[in-house]
Amino acid sequence: MTSTKLTDFEKLTEALDISELPVEEQEEILLDVQDVILKGTFVRILEKMTDEQQDAFTQFVETGPSGEEFLAYVSENVPDADDIVSETIEEFARDILAVTKE
């Protein structure tokens, strides 16, 4: 059975209306978008943490973790991290669609 639910990548590609661009240009745009989404996700994650968790997280970030270490830490310490990322992407896609549909 195939799912009709769009992946996060597909949602962004559709919202940005970049599917007709060459793959290289799509990737460049999506990398820029990824930065915005990561910052939004970071803020949402911090909002869910207690002061103690924020202090521990700050200390962890100051160690300069790799991307994999960062994701592992967030997954371990923020149970709904995947949902937060999805919500941030969906909100970003809605904002893009609101602007482009005007």
List Cα–Cα distances, 56 to 72, 87, 90, 99, in angstroms: 14, 24, 29, 38
In a domain, 21, yes or no: no
Per-residue model confidence (pLDDT) at position 8: 65
User: Residue 3: inside a domain, yes or no?
Assistant: no
Average pLDDT, the chain: 81
Long-range contacts of 53-56 (CB under 8 A, 24+ apart): 53/77
Both tokens assigned to 81: 């991290």
With respect to residue 77, please indicate whether it lies within any of the assigned structural domains.
Answer: yes
Q: For residue 84, report the phi and psi dihedrals to the nearest 5 degrees.
A: -65, -45
Tell me if 86 is assigned to some domain. Answer: yes
pLDDT exceeds cutoff 90 at 73: no
Q: What is the pTM of this model?
A: 0.66
Q: What is the pLDDT of residues 26-68, one digit of tens each?
A: 888 888 888 888 888 888 888 888 899 899 988 998 999 887 8
Counted domains in the chain: 1
Q: Is 53 among the domain residues?
A: yes
Residue 87 included in any domain:
yes
Structural domain boundaries enclosing 83: 26-100
